[in-house]
Structure formats: structure tokens, C-alpha cells
Amino acid sequence: MHAASIHDTVAFLRERFTRAPHAVLVLGSGLGEMANDIEDAVRIPFSDIPGFPRRTQELAGHAGQLVAGRLEGVEVAAMQGRFHLYEGWQPADVALPVRALSALGAETMLLTNAAGGIRPGFQPGDLMLMADHINMMFRNPLIGQTVPGEERFPDMSDPYDSGFRRIAEEVARELRIPLVQGVYAAMLGPSYETPAEIRMLARLGADAVGMSTVPEVLVARAIGMKCLGISCITNLAAGLGGERLSHDEVMEVGARVRHRLAALVRGVLPRVAGLNRASEAAE
């Protein structure tokens, strides 16, 4: 990532956003329709934003646009789709949107993703609150020269803020949405995992597996942004369900649960935004 590219990105977005975002929403496979609920929306295709990676093809379930506006009274910038390492991008490319939106004022990030269930008892359609992760991508966007304003050695003992997770559990109980906490394993992809790899991940302590999220969280924590992650279990991981894995199944289950997930995010968003502001005021 060149300094000029992020400067151009920030300048471009600042000209087009009517208000500074407080929170970033990163919407995963099949979950992007949540961005349609944003009020007073400004929609910008990724391909129009300087510095953003240029896709050679669109991915199903990833609309590929940035949507800024208000959701539940909170100024947000939603990534309707995201960039993945398996597309061939460098970790800094995947993390550039987080860095740019933080420079515009965002202090909180809520991420969603589609994941394969490893924990016994998981079924397609379950929602898992990310309590921790295992980076099996073996890539880190913080490698190299430290970006101004970022920690060289960020603390990752609470990557998905424990206060945010308590709020998410409270909202889930109020809405009667089943929600469990678990550990997310991030693999490089794009091939799905083998049964032997899933057995390995289970022994390492993973409850679910996917191909995203961790690069964005690493950069967010280095910046000082607080994160909350929610995985939609769209399929049972290889060797656990007896069926072939397919992206079509991911999309179908994502569409089936998006209303529950949207309700959870809408309930959580104003509370975590308020908690973040209160903690800053106390400091």
C-alpha cells in the first residue's frame, strides 16, 4: 500500500460523504442486502474509488460497493462485499478500506461472514458470535513499515470486544435469536477445506471456518478500532455433513437468515456506538 493511494482514497470519499461515518459494517457472502436499509444513502461502486483493488470479475453475493448513510441513528459506511486474499490481492489491499474509513472518523467495526460449522451441533442457519480467531491464512497486513497512527505490536487478547459481545448477547436474548460464541478459523482459500483439515482445525479449537474477516480485524485493532464479528453458519464443514460443498448453498442459507442477522445488527449498532462514545468520554 502506497501512502499516496490511501490519501487519494480518503480525499475522494471525503468529497462524496455528506457526514463522517462512526461505524463500519463489513457484509459477507449473501448478507449484503442489509445495506439496502441504510437511510440517506450514498452508494459508490468499489471500481470508482481510487486505491481500491480492481476486480476482474464480480463474486456472487458480493455487490462490490460502499454505502454510507444512517442506520438506527448511527452514521455508517457499509462494505457491501469485501476483498479476499484468495482473489490474489495483497493483505494491505484487503485492509485499505478499513484504514481509509478510520481516517474519515470510523471508530467501530461490525463484521459479518459466511462460515462452515465445525462445532458439533451446528446447523446451517445458526449464528455465531466471534469470540476469537485463528489466523491460518499465514498473512498479516501489518507486516512491513508501520503505518502512522497504528501500533507496531497491537494487543490481540480481545480482538472482538468483550463489551460489544455482551451487548450482542443481550440483544439476541431480547429478540429471541439463538446466538452462541465461538472461535473462527480463517483459511486462505479459495478451495474448501479437506476433511483432514477440518479435523485439524477442530483439534486446534476452531468452531467455524471461513476465508475472510481476520485481515480487516488485525488492522482495525492496530488502529484502535473496536470490533464485533458475527458468523452465519451456512454449511457443515467438509466431512461433517456428507454433502458436497458449494457457494450456491452459502448464498441460499445467507438469504434465509439475513432477516435475523439484520435484526441483530440493527439492535446492536446503536448500543455499541453509544458504549464506544461513553468510554471515549470517560478517558
For residue 122, give the CATH number of its domain. Answer: 3.40.50.1580
Residue 227 belongs to what domain range?
A: 3-282
Please tell me the number of Cα atoms within 13 Å of 115 on its side-chain side.
Answer: 33
Residue from 35, 63, 114, 187 carrying the catalytic annotation: 114
pTM score of the predicted model: 0.90
Is there a catalytic annotation at residue 192? no
Residues pairing with 230 in the sheet: 112, 129
- From first to last of its 283 residues, what are the pLDDT tens digits of the chain? 444 578 999 999 999 998 999 999 999 866 678 888 899 999 999 999 999 987 655 554 446 899 999 999 999 999 998 899 999 999 999 999 999 999 999 999 999 998 999 999 999 899 999 999 999 999 999 999 999 999 999 999 999 999 999 999 999 999 999 999 999 999 999 999 999 999 999 999 999 999 999 999 999 999 999 999 999 998 888 667 656 656 666 667 667 778 899 999 999 999 998 766 655 555 5
Domains: count for the chain:
1
Rounded Cα gap, residues 259 and 125, in angstroms: 11
225 near 109, Cβ under 8 Å?
Answer: yes
Instruction: Return the C-alpha cell found at 274.
Output: 453509544
**Quick check: helix, strand or coil at residue 254?**
helix
Residue from 22, 62, 113, 262 carrying the catalytic annotation: 62
Instruction: List % helix, strand, coil for the chain (3-state, nearest 5).
Output: 40, 25, 40
Residue from 115, 128, 160, 212 carrying the catalytic annotation: 212
